[in-house]
Structure 1
């Protein structure tokens, strides 16, 4: 998982590197358009988290038929969601960019990018469905290899389509969307080939592809809360873009670069959390709550160490991380200020990822959603209010984010402790009944 995340980091940075060469409006437009990813991820989370958790529990119970049923239902809904993404994406992309863009150039760049990236967004459902099924069975290597393949392909495609290397026909921001869509499409094909030829525990079965409402109910019960969390992330990011667009494309570009760098820095902690979830889920299915606690403890430690080191890096010279992507002084200033301030919540964010993975493993993701929803009150509402006050400054947004993220992490830890205690009491009662 860590190796896969390293390649994912390269994907973020290579894409950003070539788009940044197109100017501030391009960076601002692509960054604002990229926020749509959170909406798609809200649905892929519903699919991916529920698939992983239910299959992991089935593996723990040694119930292969149920694992196969869940997998095929996941594939069915991946197809449905992919079609919905294509229809909704093309119908709404123009209106979305008009609402968030700071000027006409930013709106045009973001719309052009989205039109070519929407097919890739639709294909992500299939990739997530199959990858989550493998994670649920405890197999991560094929998913990591496919992820590496898609990143390498995107690294190859990006300069060809964006800058016109070798073709002499640069497509600009549209090329960035096309490069991502092609890479994801090839990744879907490669993963499907793996399932057909090599996977034996969960396989494609035509007779299991008809709608099963009982399985859908189980999937929604686990998947909707983490999906709603990503929808909230879309809201938070949209609030930020809307609040700072009064400062122009330079501010939105600076935030876009800083947030992309921040996302890449989160990947080590996410790798640990993603790996811990199926391990804890299988032990939960087998009734070994003590192993679930041990998994959380070591995941929290392993995730916090790299986040603490990255915090120190951002406090030392954040501008060094930014200067490789732009030479605009105003953009560098905004991105550097963002990273130096927001890095104080890196450890808290890492703990949040770990807790989220544990809630998935326990089969109850509602507490994690409750913790995320508190930021609507503590962050989104105050930012909206401040943006309409005289003397509003961008740094106020970053300070508020650090404070509210720390509070959210503490609240999430408290909720996880309560959930573990409830599971322990439930298991003890079940043993006494037997």
Structure 2
């Protein structure tokens, strides 16, 4: 266990964010690998996999429920030095992970085709997306167990093991994708089904590796079958924190679904170009998101320890770092988007749309970094309802004008991206205001305290 209530805040962030970023980038690379290898199957295949990937936002919402609830409550318990409560929260989260995984398998099997019919531009895209989803669904179900285990480690300040497992899973996926999709070395190509199957196998192996590490090495919390029986009061503790955060991903799903809807009139190439650009944008968002996620357990442990001044300092320093990182990545996205998007499709129309998307939408990267920071701080405070409110505001301020404009003569694809910039900026402003209000309610008036006192004590080292 790593004590985040002492030591340099910036030092903790810089130690924790690289492994977090590596783990997240590995997940994104898995998705990009699928897009890369199916690109040879045509625009319908790329558009289908990209649109199917948007369904992952719903599953990510459930993952967020578990992850945020586990990290927040466990971090508070660690800050209070209450090991018993930390163990109880963890084991109740394990129970939820099994339930959510089973729900994902059942719902995914039943709803894959209806979902694709609602967003796809043509029948070929519907078939491609449905096939990919059905084979990818086991990976999504297994992610729940991996999420709970990794979240328990992150709440105690340990992030490296989950990162290493994620990276190994990516290596396995990269090795399997061309074999299963294109039939390299076997002569038996599964096509789009192979993309989903490669991801499912990789995640399955990664889950087994992380569970093995947790059982053999982790000592602060442990699997305890006696605590797996659902206890409504403690399940509600997790859900009260996690559900609003999961609702944020549901809002993102709605946002993306509207984008695909208004792009449907522009054809499969437009949807494919957006899908490629969105995946790459998500990849370059990862460093700032990793910094923000590192701040969550720092804030959470200090909330549990009753150190309000250190919680405020965590926000200020995290916001400064995420802003600097976003500016650094915005520059190449503005000047040379083709370098970031090279190799994903040979279709000129698809790539022209992807270039346009990335150049315009990267203008909101600073605002997005502030949103990441505020969201993580709300998680650390244990109140994620304001996150849901700000996300809902973004969805409605974007969706209604976008749908209306799409029905007007002369509607252009650029309008989709410009509306997104305006909605994201509004969300950032609202998030900052809501966080300031939450600080006043939860932390009170900040006490005068020197920087030396606020950051005193040695930095605990993370075990290898």
Of 377, 382, 387 in structure 2, the residue corresponding to residue 368 of structure 1 is 387
Counterpart secondary structure, 1:364: coil
Of 310, 319, 325 in structure 2, the residue corresponding to residue 300 of structure 1 is 319
Determine the C-alpha separation between the residues in 2 that align with 1:425 and 1:241: 44
Determine the C-alpha separation between the residues in 2 that align with 1:423 and 1:70: 22
Determine the C-alpha separation between the residues in 1 that align with 2:265 and 2:144: 35
Of 128, 131, 135 in structure 2, the residue corresponding to residue 112 of structure 1 is 131
Determine the C-alpha separation between the residues in 2 that align with 1:388 and 1:28: 23
Root mean square deviation, CA, Å: 1.4
Aligned to 2:260: 241
**After alignment, is 341-350 or 319-328 more displaced?**
319-328
TM-score normalised by structure 1 residue count: 0.96
Of 271, 278, 287 in structure 2, the residue corresponding to residue 252 of structure 1 is 271
1:176-216 deviation line (CA, Å, top 9, x unaligned): 11111111111111111112111111111111010111111
Aligned to 1:424: 443
1:351-406 deviation line (CA, Å, top 9, x unaligned): 11111000000111111111111123210111111112221111101000001101
Aligned to 1:33: 52
Asked if the contact 2:28/2:279 (under 8 Å) is kept, the reply is no
- Alignment pair present for 1:328 and 2:350: no
Of 317, 335, 341 in structure 1, the residue corresponding to residue 360 of structure 2 is 341
Per the TM alignment, residue 295 of structure 1 is displaced from its structure 2 partner at its CA by: 1.4
Asked if the contact 1:5/1:268 (under 8 Å) is kept, the reply is no
Determine the C-alpha separation between the residues in 1 that align with 2:317 and 2:184: 46
Aligned to 1:357: 376
Give the unaligned 5+ runs of structure 2.
1-19, 448-464
Counterpart secondary structure, 2:218: coil
- Alignment pair present for 1:89 and 2:89: no
**Consecutive aligned runs of 4 or more in structure 1 exceeding 4 Å deviation:** none
Aligned to 2:182: 163
Aligned to 2:287: 268
Determine the C-alpha separation between the residues in 2 that align with 1:159 and 1:173: 11
Aligned to 1:130: 149
Determine the C-alpha separation between the residues in 1 that align with 2:340 and 2:183: 26
Determine the C-alpha separation between the residues in 2 that align with 1:373 and 1:9: 25
Asked if the contact 1:21/1:325 (under 8 Å) is kept, the reply is no
Aligned to 1:431: none
1:235-268 deviation line (CA, Å, top 9, x unaligned): 0101111111111110110001011111111111
Number of residues of Structure 1 aligned to a counterpart in Structure 2: 428
Aligned to 1:317: 336
Aligned to 1:56: 75
- Alignment pair present for 1:224 and 2:224: no
Determine the C-alpha separation between the residues in 1 that align with 2:414 and 2:82: 53
Determine the C-alpha separation between the residues in 2 that align with 1:175 and 1:39: 23
Asked if the contact 1:75/1:126 (under 8 Å) is kept, the reply is yes
Asked if the contact 1:12/1:264 (under 8 Å) is kept, the reply is no
CA gap 1:8/1:247 in 2 versus in 1, 3 angstroms:
same
Counterpart secondary structure, 1:158: helix
By relative contact order (CA 8 Å, sep 6+), the higher-ranking structure is 2
Per the TM alignment, residue 16 of structure 1 is displaced from its structure 2 partner at its CA by: 2.4
Determine the C-alpha separation between the residues in 2 that align with 1:185 and 1:297: 39
TM-score normalised by structure 2 residue count: 0.90
Of 97, 100, 103 in structure 1, the residue corresponding to residue 119 of structure 2 is 100
Asked if the contact 1:255/1:334 (under 8 Å) is kept, the reply is yes
Per the TM alignment, residue 38 of structure 1 is displaced from its structure 2 partner at its CA by: 0.4
Aligned to 2:417: 398
- Alignment pair present for 1:212 and 2:192: no
Per the TM alignment, residue 319 of structure 1 is displaced from its structure 2 partner at its CA by: 2.3
Counterpart secondary structure, 1:35: helix
